[in-house]
Chains A and B, each alone.
Chain A
Amino acid sequence: MATNIAGRRYRAWYAMLLRLYPRPFRERFGEGMAQTFHDLCQERKGAKRGLFGLALWIFCETLVGIVKENTTHMPQLGKTMLRVALGALAVLMVPLVASQFVEDWNWPVGAFVRVYVLFFGTGMVFALVARRTDAWSYKAGVGVALVSGFALGWSNMVHVADSGNPANLMYYSVLGVGAVGACLARLKARGLALTLFAMAATLALIAVALPSGAPPYLARNMAIGHGVYTALFTASGLLFRHASLSGLTQTPE
């Protein structure tokens, strides 16, 4: 009896889910899909097994199909935006979930929105720049550069907010060098390699020149941080150099 009620409920929900398909698809296959779901439920019921696991799997599987069908006739840019938006949402789940467990992590809703915009923006830049070429080293270079730049900007923003030391704003000059260099290089691999090396050099210069005034244990952590970021920017530069030398980079006409 309970299985019958659950079965009816799941079928009603499934019928609602099918309404999310594009109308032409739904009109052609909706009835068949609903019938197939009904048949699967009947099979489960006949085997005296619960319906929850089956319903959950079918709902998830159908949801993937719905996204696929709705994006099939979408322009490429629209598909890219949708993918990046969903990816950014998935990444946003990390701070969203972590804030529930970490004490003193009380971001207002606006902060989450700003962080989402940052994730989405970074993702879109990667998607748009990386699709200019099929060269793996160029794509990897863009990825490493963006993640490193994003992490540097983020950690610096947090550090400035915590310490209130305006001298730390100098770190943004590294990102400035990157932005100006990328524009001047017109995203060509050779120019980007030089830009990333310049960013690494700027960061190293700041690390040496800027007096931190921090206690020794903090100074050691900062030195490690500087080293890691410098290495990442250098690695990204080397990847661009590899792309440039291999001659695989193609710019759109």
Chain B
Amino acid sequence: MAKRNTAQAPLTPAVLHVLLALSTGERHGYGIMKQVEADSQGKVKMGPGTLYGSIARMTEAGLVRKATGGPIRRWTTSGGSITRSQSRGERRWKRS
């Protein structure tokens, strides 16, 4: 079976949380973790290993990119929105 393009594949929970955190603005690593925690009302706690592993795959898939400017490395979405399939409830990223 051909491997599915990462950008077309259903979003994993970690990727979904990161995208949601970045949907309200660009953030650095710690900021994303705190936003994920706030969005999930403390239910999801993401460590640096999961966060940066997800960011690595998301940059490869073109979902996020480094924000320009500023002394601290920040991340932002590359433009798009999360869609949810009606049939299976899978969430995917749709580029704008």
* B48 partner residues in chain A, CB cutoff 8 A: 33, 36-37, 58, 61-62, 65
* A57 partner residues in chain B, CB cutoff 8 A: 47
* A40 partner residues in chain B, CB cutoff 8 A: 30, 33
Q: How far is the CA of A29 from the CA of B56 in the complex (A)?
A: 8
* B29 partner residues in chain A, CB cutoff 8 A: 32-33, 35-36, 39
Q: How far is the CA of A25 from the CA of B33 in the complex (A)?
A: 19
Q: How far is the CA of A68 from the CA of B51 in the complex (A)?
A: 13
In the complex the two chains form, is B30's CB within 8 Å of A35's CB?
A: yes
Q: What is the size category of the interface that chain A forms with chain B?
A: 20 to 34
Residue in A28, A32, A39, A65 whose beta carbon sits within 8 Å of that of B49 in the complex: A65
User: Chain A's interface: helix, strand, loop or mixed, by majority?
Assistant: helix
Q: What is the minimal beta-carbon distance from B67 to any residue of chain A, in angstroms?
A: 12
Q: Please, what's the 1-or-0 string for B22-47, where 1 marks a CB less than 8 Å from any CB in chain A?
A: 00000011100100000000000001
* A35 partner residues in chain B, CB cutoff 8 A: 28-30, 72
Residue with the greatest number of chain A CB neighbours at <10 A, chosen from B29, B48, B50, B72: B48
A66 at the interface (CB under 8 A from B): yes
With an 8 Å Cβ cutoff, the count of chain B residues facing the other chain is: 15
* B19 partner residues in chain A, CB cutoff 8 A: none
A63 at the interface (CB under 8 A from B): yes
Residue in A29, A39, A64 whose beta carbon sits within 8 Å of that of B52 in the complex: A29
B53 at the interface (CB under 8 A from A): yes
Q: What is the minimal beta-carbon distance from A27 to any residue of chain B, in angstroms?
A: 12
A62 and B33 in contact (CB under 8 A), knowing A29-B55, A31-B73, A32-B73?
no
> What are 12 contact pairs spanning A and B, CB under 8 A?
A33-B52, A35-B30, A35-B72, A36-B30, A37-B48, A40-B30, A63-B49, A65-B47, A65-B48, A65-B49, A65-B52, A66-B49
A residues at B contact (CB < 8 Å): 25, 28-29, 31-33, 35-37, 39-40, 57-58, 61-66, 68-69
